[in-house]
């Protein structure tokens, strides 16, 4: 039996529901039925991104304008020269897109590739078709400065150079060496 949640209810995250409109609830519910305010939902999404290196976000205009919204809803091609962001559903997790590229897709007709940075790491996302905002995102592998090989995870190690002792982010193999 589900519980009735009002704007004054304390959610499982310990907060009240977030400010919301008439068609939203002010909270999210996870697979286990736990309720969280929008800020806590964004924290969970960030943690998932750190741990798993992939997620599903939404590609949206950075500055919402009526004409942008109309293009998104009607499925018209979006302008790839404007400012874009990837965001979670409530919009509390919002990451600016560094680059967007429009290409062809054999089934959806069009695809949008986006590149962005999250916590200093490079990410890539793909949205298929004009009739959606869903963007499938993954963390990109980066080159280790120690061995010059691509790595998924980096570790901070101390190192000495001409300027003294500092720290460097290296792959697991170089960190163990």
What's the whole-number mean pLDDT along residues 36-57? 95
pLDDT band at 46 (very low <50, low <70, confident <90, very high): very high
On the question of pLDDT at 34 being above 70, the answer is yes
Mean pLDDT of 18-38: 92
Sorting pLDDT into bands at 50, 70 and 90, what band is 1? very low
- Please check whether residue 54 is in contact with residue 137, taking contact to mean a CB–CB distance below 8 angstroms: yes
One-character DSSP codes across the chain: -PPP--TTPPPTTSSPPPP--TT--SEEE-TT--EEEHHHHHHHHHHHHHHHSEEEEEEEESS--HHHHHHHHHTPPPPTTS-EEEE-TTSSSEEEEEEEEEEEETTTEEEEEEEEEETTEEEEEEEESSS--EEEEEEPPEE-TTT--EES--EEEEEEETTEEEEEEE-HHHHH-
Whole-number pLDDT of residue 112: 93
Are the C-beta atoms of 84 and 60 separated by less than 8 Å?
A: yes
Q: Does residue 30 register a pLDDT over 60?
A: yes
Q: Is the pLDDT of residue 88 over 70?
A: yes
pLDDT digits (tens, 9 = 90+) for 116-159: 999 988 999 999 998 889 999 999 987 777 777 777 677 777 76
Q: Per the confidence metrics, is the pTM higher than 0.75? A: no
* pLDDT > 70: percent of the chain: 82
Cβ 58 vs Cβ 134: under 8 Å = yes
Mean pLDDT of the chain: 83
| Vertex 90 angle, CA 88 and 94, to 5° | 45
């Amino acid at each position: 039996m589900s519980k009735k949640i009002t704007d004054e209810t304390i959610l499982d995250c310990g907060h009240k529901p977030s400010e919301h409109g008439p068609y939203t609830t002010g909270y999210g519910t996870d697979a286990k039925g736990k309720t969280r305010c929008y800020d806590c939902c964004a924290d969970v999404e960030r943690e998932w991104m750190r741990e798993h290196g992939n997620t599903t976000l939404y590609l949206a205009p950075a500055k919402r304008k009526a004409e942008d919204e109309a293009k998104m809803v009607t499925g018209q091609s979006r302008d790839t020269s404007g400012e874009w962001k990837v965001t979670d559903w409530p919009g509390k997790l919002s990451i600016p897109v560094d680059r967007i590229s429009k290409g062809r897709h054999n089934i959806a007709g069009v695809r949008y590739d986006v590149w962005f940075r999250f916590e200093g790491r490079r990410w890539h996302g793909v949205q298929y078709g004009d009739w959606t905002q869903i963007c499938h995102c993954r963390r990109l592998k980066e080159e280790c400065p120690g061995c010059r090989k691509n790595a998924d995870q980096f570790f901070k190690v101390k190192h000495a150079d001409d300027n003294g002792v500092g720290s460097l982010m290296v792959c697991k193999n170089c960190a163990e060496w």
